[in-house]
Amino acid sequence: MAKVTIKQDVLSPEYQKVLKLSGYHPSELLRLIPKLLLDIYKQQSPAVFEDTMRWDASGDPIMFYAIWRLKDVKDARTKVMTKVVIEGHQSSKDLSGNVIIAIRSWVQTDASYNNILGKIGILFYDNMFYKKHRMQYMGEAKRNVIRLEDAIKAYFGTMKRREKREVT
């Protein structure tokens, strides 16, 4: 059985949205991103995949890198995928640092067929009827990416420096 896959970038004509932030304790975003993905996309925890998380505390500054994916299944054929990549460093002395966040999202529609007539039928159906649904999914996904970007900026902008307590 053969398969037709239609994949469209949500942020077209851009490939991804890149945020460059600096401030106090940027590694807190490693804890925050999965929660934001679940809250904004209104999904359960099995929908978020942590592909990699690397942490290098061997020197100063401390380097970190992480990748998360979210799979938002819309119907039997279509899913929205969102990928968040974080790379940054923070000082071990004063906990200040920089972080680069890349957000990429796409809508993917899969359909299988047995022969060339099935393929033609799938492409015709997609072009004539299903395209409207896919465009609605793309609009919703774009709004969710903007919400994610705003939440990251708001959280990072409002993080306050914790004062060290003296032990007496």
In terms of Cα–Cα distance, which of 30, 75, 36, 31 is closest to 154? 36
- The answer to whether the peptide bond before residue 26 is cis (omega within 30 degrees of 0) is no
Give the confidence band of 59 by pLDDT, cuts at 50, 70, 90.
Answer: confident
118 in a domain, yes or no? yes
Structure token digits, residue 46: 């099995």
Per the structure, the complete domain to which residue 54 belongs is given by: 2-158
17 in a domain, yes or no? yes
pLDDT given for residue 165 in this prediction? 45
Distance in angstroms (rounded) separating the CA atoms of residues 50 and 70: 9
120 in a domain, yes or no? yes
Looking at every residue in the chain, the average pLDDT score rounds to: 89
**Coarse DSSP helix, strand, coil percentages of the chain, rounded to the nearest 5 percent:** 35, 40, 25
25 in a domain, yes or no? yes
> Count of domains in the chain?
1
User: Would you put residue 78 in left (φ > 0), alpha (ψ -120 to 50) or beta?
Assistant: beta
pLDDT given for residue 126 in this prediction? 87
Distance in angstroms (rounded) separating the CA atoms of residues 69 and 53: 12
pLDDT given for residue 158 in this prediction? 55
* Predicted structure pTM score: 0.85
pLDDT given for residue 105 in this prediction? 97
164 in a domain, yes or no? no
Read off the pLDDT of each residue in 38-66 and give the average, rounded to a whole number: 91
167 in a domain, yes or no? no
Give the confidence band of 163 by pLDDT, cuts at 50, 70, 90.
Answer: low
Read off the pLDDT of each residue in 56-78 and give the average, rounded to a whole number: 92
